[in-house]
Structure 1
Amino acid sequence: MKREDLGRTVGYQLKRVQAALRAAMDGALRAHGITTPQFACLDLLGRRPGLSNAELARGAFVTRQSMNVLLRNLEDAGLVERPATAPSGRALPTRLTPAGERLLEAATADVLAIERRMTAALDPAQAKVLLDQLESMAGALSADGRG
């Protein structure tokens, strides 16, 4: 049985792209004073205000404990706000402040520029096929089969 060159597998290439994307995003976001996980959190809140810590952690691919620290740092920086007490249950809904909205807008422009650079060799139809295939791969590996 012939062993496959791991450097020519989809999984290896996905990890290689992810590492390069993360490095590019880290560099661009440093100019805004935030990290990639902080950007992910701000982006989630920009699209869905009021998410809980657990929902943000899942969406940003970090643990709940890491999200607690991340949110505290964003709160100290004046980028997000949470009520002192939960309106119902235990979850503290988080929202962007006006400063957070401005920073998110500026940082998003830089992140989208990186995305355009990364996908420059693809035409719109190829980009759509790639997105569909990546969603299918994530779904195939997830516990519930949906990504």
Structure 2
Amino acid sequence: MAALEAEIARRPGHNIKRAEQALMTAKAAVLREFELTVPQYAGMVVLSYLPGTSGAQLARICAVTPQTMATVLSNLEAKGLVTRTPSSVHQKVFVTKLTRAGNALIKRADVKAHAVEDRLVAEFSDDERRLLADLLERAIKVLNG
């Protein structure tokens, strides 16, 4: 069993997945206070920078499926945190914006979620952070073909 665990631990995909899960678990823990999931938080952060973004654009930026983003936006709309109105350009596209309550909530939630990321990067020197970012970008590039 130990040999199998050692073999699995050497696989880069396993380590990347473990790191992602650890990050998402830590973010989920701090976002519970705000009754937000990590995908809801991610969508709201994007909307805070890019108001009027469509659901399809949000899905791409947040790296989730369009169906997942549709559910995320429906839940945020039900909570009064976003509004969705039909686009003046395309009937089937909805323009999504944070409400006043959504803006206030994401500002508070982002402080806590950002602290998780700060805790992560504080573990590395400046050179290590740059190297990690470069290595991850190379991995993304090679896997995206």
TM-score computed with the length of structure 2 as normaliser: 0.88
Q: How far does the alpha carbon of each residue in 1:56-86 deviate from its partner, in whole angstroms, 9 at most, with x for none?
A: 1122222212211211111111111111x32
Q: How far does the alpha carbon of each residue in 1:40-67 deviate from its partner, in whole angstroms, 9 at most, with x for none?
A: 1001111211111111112222221221
Partner of 2:88: 87
Partner of 2:103: 101
Query: Tell me, which stretches of 5 or more residues in structure 1 are unaligned?
Result: none
Partner of 1:126: 128
Partner of 1:6: 8
Task: Return the letter of the residue paired with 2:13.
Answer: G
Q: How far does the alpha carbon of each residue in 1:74-133 deviate from its partner, in whole angstroms, 9 at most, with x for none?
A: 1111111111x3211121111111211111111111111111222222012211221122
Partner of 1:19: 21
| Structure 1 stretch displaced more, 109-118 or 35-44 | 109-118
Q: Distance in 2 between matches of 1:101 and 1:111?
A: 15
Q: Alpha carbon RMSD of aligned pairs, Å?
A: 1.6
Structure with a larger share of its residues in strand: 2
Q: Distance in 2 between matches of 1:69 and 1:121?
A: 35
Task: Return the letter of the residue paired with 1:47.
Answer: Y
Is 1:75 matched up with 2:77? yes
The DSSP-based 3-state class of the residue aligned with 1:31 is helix
TM-score computed with the length of structure 1 as normaliser: 0.87
Structure with a larger share of its residues in helix: 2
The DSSP-based 3-state class of the residue aligned with 1:51 is coil
- The structure 1 segments of at least 4 consecutive aligned residues displaced by more than 3 Å after TM superposition are none
